[in-house]
Amino acid sequence: MTIEKTINGDKIEAIIKGRLDTNTAPDLESEFVDKLQNIKEFILDLKDLDYISSAGLRVILTFHKQMTSQEGKFSILNPKDEVMEIFDMTGFSTFLDIKE
């Protein structure tokens, strides 16, 4: 997995590439968990994410909870069909802001 991020004031945009699984989820979490405190908008672009596991979903949920608790906005952009199917099957698509 690779992460391309842009921080512009109180907004973070990140493109996640590859697989978000048990091996890579801790890297994604540690990359952003301490950087979200003063952020008002956090966008994850998943156009190049090929796979997401339950460990990846847990990190997405952590980001969502943190942004919601600080009244910020968390969005998912461009998930591939395979990833969107996981969001639908797990119910994540019912509460996440996902823009296809």
Mean pLDDT for the chain?
Answer: 97
Q: Compute the average pLDDT of residues 43-69.
A: 97
pLDDT classification of 100: cutoffs 50, 70, 90 = confident
Task: Report the distance separating Cα 30 and Cα 43, nearest Å.
Answer: 16
Domain that holds residue 22: 2-99
Ordered strands of the 73-77 beta sheet: 2-8, 11-20, 41-52, 73-77, 97-99
Q: What's the domain count of the chain?
A: 1
What is the rounded distance in angstroms from the CA atom of residue 100 to the CA atom of residue 98? 6
Q: What's 73's domain CATH number?
A: 3.30.750.24
Q: Is the pLDDT of residue 74 over 90?
A: yes
pTM confidence score = 0.94
